Amino acid sequence: MPVDPPADSRTSATRRARDGFVASLALVPSVFVYGTVFGGLAVQAGLRPLEVWAMSLLVFAGAAQFVAVPMLEAGASPLAIVLTTYVVNMRHYLMAATLAPAFRGFPRAWLALVAHWINDESFAVAVARRHPVDPWVYLGSAAAVAGAFLGGVPVGTHLGGLVADPARWGLDFAFPAVFLALGVVQLRAPTDWLVAVASGALATAVALMAPGHWHIVVAGVVVSGTAALVVPPEAP
């Protein structure tokens, strides 16, 4: 696998970033609406708008934020909320490891900043769009996702969630749809299918047995790790 195929170096960084941005537009309406829903819920739970904006900007992890707000409302201990956040976000380790080789040669200060914007949706877009992952496609996608989320939150803290029940409009389904669609386009070799099916099945089983957010990390590590040990390296 070449580190940087010549085709990619010919296209400018701006164009590749735009490609990532445009590829992420499918998600913008859902991410925006969920931003407003989060803003609305958090204010209803007793947080001040400034606190909600700060959390969205500094934590920038939708799933963890949706989990934390009801815990805050219920008066859970700060330690419990922080630990839960950590567990919910452990999947970022896998994404960071996968994205890292694409960022070789970037200044470390850049990497420290880029890291903050790692999110499920941009990871999915970046890994599916180019082989190997293109850092600019990823950054373009992160801009679209971050813009939609951080744009939605203040709307929600002031107007309430724009849509009372996003699921009624199928907007909740945009997330699994993107993950699934971007997974499907990557299936080439029979081993790819085996890994994908095994991981989906294991994740579902873990989610059923251990509610919470362990299933992504457990299935991601166990299945990809096992396959990496079994499949010879440098397989096509």
Partner 1 sequence: MRTDVWLVIAGMAVVTYLTRAPLLLALARRPLPPRLRSWLRLIPLAVLPALALPLILVDEGRLVASPAHPPLWGAVVVFALAGLRVNLLATVAAAVATVAALRALG
User: What is the nearest approach in angstroms of partner 1 to the Cβ of residue 196?
Assistant: 5
Residue 137 sits in the site that holds partner 1 (CB under 8 A): no
Residue 150 sits in the site that holds partner 1 (CB under 8 A): no
Residue 203 sits in the site that holds partner 1 (CB under 8 A): yes
Tokens of residue 184, six digits: 């499907």
Q: C-alpha angle with apex 51: 159 to 79, nearest 5 degrees?
A: 130
Determine the Cα–Cα distance for residues 49 and 43; give it in Å rounded to an integer: 7
Tokens of residue 99, six digits: 């994205």
Q: Which residues neighbour 169 within 8 Å (Cβ) at sequence distance 6 or greater?
A: 163
Determine the Cα–Cα distance for residues 31 and 50; give it in Å rounded to an integer: 20
Residue 202 sits in the site that holds partner 1 (CB under 8 A): yes
Residue 159 sits in the site that holds partner 1 (CB under 8 A): no
Q: Are 126 and 20 in contact (CB under 8 A)?
A: yes
Closer CB to partner 1, residue 40 or residue 199?
199
Nearest CA among 92, 62, 46 for reference residue 153: 62
User: What is the nearest approach in angstroms of partner 1 to the Cβ of residue 27?
Assistant: 7
Residue choice 128, 146, 148, 153 for contact with partner 1 (CB under 8 A):
128
Determine the Cα–Cα distance for residues 1 and 15; give it in Å rounded to an integer: 23
Binding to partner 1, residues 6-45 (CB under 8 A):
23, 25-27, 30
Binding to partner 1, residues 62-91 (CB under 8 A):
64-65, 68, 72, 78-79, 81-83, 85-86, 89-91
Binding to partner 1, residues 85-124 (CB under 8 A):
85-86, 89-101, 103-104, 106, 108, 111-112, 114-116, 118, 120, 123-124
Binding to partner 1, residues 38-67 (CB under 8 A):
47, 51, 54-55, 58-61, 64-65
Determine the Cα–Cα distance for residues 128 and 115; give it in Å rounded to an integer: 19
